[in-house]
Amino acid sequence: MSWKPLFSKALAAKPDRLHFAAHSHHLWPDAACAGHLVACNDAMELADQKWDKIMGPVWADAQNYIALELNLPDRQTIAFAPNTHDFLVRIMSAIPTRPVRVLTTDGEFHSFRRQMDRWSEDGQVIVEAVPANALVDKATSSKHDLIFASQVLFNSGTVLNDIGKLAALARPEGPWVVIDGYHGFMALDTDLSTVADRIFYLAGGYKYAMAGEGVCFLHAAPGYAPRPPVTGWFAAFDDLSLSPGRTGYAPGGRRFLGSTFDPSGLYRFNAVQEMLAEAKLSTSVISAHVATLQQQFLSHNPLPDMRLLNPLDGEAHARFLAFQSEHASSLHDALTERNIITDVRGDVLRIGFGLYHDTEDVDRLIKSISKILSIT
């Protein structure tokens, strides 16, 4: 079955393009565009009063969709921000010790790694980075203030299966456990019900939630960091009558809010979730579709001289295949010249599969790669 009609606008915008970077920038479904227009219409019709709707039903609907997806017991633990980095800064600001002792993996995203490097320069943090398969042992045997790890490593597609073991180590007094779920949210079936009271979980809509930029979220465990020092006025949005000199905080995850933000991402997110519900497209259904396409691609062995870092093993898998080779960059460039979009991270070529692909797209990709390799 093809779900391309759900993406008619994006596919029609460049009909000759093969977009195999769903893991990087996911094409918008038509529903995202429709949701964006609703945000515009509300802004024009409601003006200042739009915030009553945004912080009311729009906010609550988005929380409900996320809580359902992650099996969270309480939607009120969820807060929103333009990006996950905002939340990282607020979480770090709430850790009382300095320098902060951070344990992480050696495969975290650029934003986190860059921030840790910069704070390290100033002596604000002491960072220990280990391979993902050594994370639990190191976390158990050493003392840290913060344990930060991706649910799915962005570069290799490695899936972290030890969230429960890390959560067991978490305490309100430290260490705190933060899971970066950006490559896991709506790509893997994720049940946080047994760890929701002990971890922070970050993710957003740019990738598999198909909602575009500006709609990221944090699940914040109750009792952890009750008063983040880096804060904005939206963190007290429902208690603006406090007397001067007293800093109040909204309950639940909203204690981590910042200040005024662009709410259009929330509208897009809700519209896409409604679309998926109407089409009966759960994360497991989409993952099965992607797995079939990945298997089709690999069955032809189109990249025999490249090392597949995340082979299919029948277990939960990233939505992309990561191939390592010194030729990764040149192959990426050759594909781009043919209007086939992938992405490259150092010596790793990532090919992402999504709901807007079908078997014919995979066949075209395989044939194009074959032609490129025969020339070179």
Tell me the pLDDT tens digit for each residue of 326-338: 999 999 999 999 9
| pLDDT exceeds 90 at position 76 | yes
- Least confident window among 124-133, 217-226, 230-239, 252-261: 230-239
Span 57-74, average pLDDT: 98
Span 17-27, average pLDDT: 97
For residue 152, the 8-state DSSP code is: B
Burial 165-197 (b: 16+ CB within 10 A, else e): bbbebbeeebbbbbbbbbbbbbbbebebeebbb
Span 117-134, average pLDDT: 97
CA distance 336 to 264: 31
Environment class of 126 (CB within 10 Å of its CB; exposed 0-12, middle 13-18, buried 19+): middle
CA distance 323 to 156: 8
Match domain 32-276 to its CATH number in 1.10.533.10, 3.40.640.10, 3.40.50.920, 3.40.190.10.
3.40.640.10
At 110, list the tokens: 């650029």
Tell me, what's the pLDDT at 237?
61
Tell me, what's the pLDDT at 244?
65
CA distance 292 to 289: 5
- The domain ranges of the chain are 4-30+281-375, 32-276
What percentage of residues in the chain have a pLDDT greater than 70? Answer: 97
Domain covering 4-30+281-375 in this structure, CATH number? 3.90.1150.10
Tell me, what's the pLDDT at 248?
87
CA distance 111 to 134: 22
Do the Cβ atoms of 32 and 272 come closer than 8 Å? yes
Nearest to 192 by CA among 216, 220, 212: 220
At 224, list the tokens: 């952890």
3-state helix, strand, coil in the chain (%, to 5): 45, 15, 40
Look up the pTM and report it: 0.96
Do the Cβ atoms of 220 and 88 come closer than 8 Å? no
CA distance 111 to 113: 6
The SS3 of residue 2 is coil
For residue 366, the 8-state DSSP code is: H
Helix ranges restricted to H, the chain: 8-13, 30-46, 50-53, 59-70, 84-93, 110-121, 135-141, 163-167, 264-279, 283-299, 328-337, 359-375
Nearest to 81 by CA among 260, 220, 271, 240: 260
Residue owning tokens 């759900």:
6
- Across all residues in the chain, what is the average pLDDT? 96
CA distance 241 to 237: 10
At 196, list the tokens: 């929701």
Tell me, what's the pLDDT at 239?
56
Q: Max CA-CA distance within the chain?
A: 73
Tell me, what's the pLDDT at 187?
98
Residues 6+ apart with CB under 8 A from 360: none
Tell me, what's the pLDDT at 193?
98
**Does 32-276 match 4-30+281-375 at the fold level?**
no
Q: Looking at this protein, which amino acid is placed at residue 215?
A: V
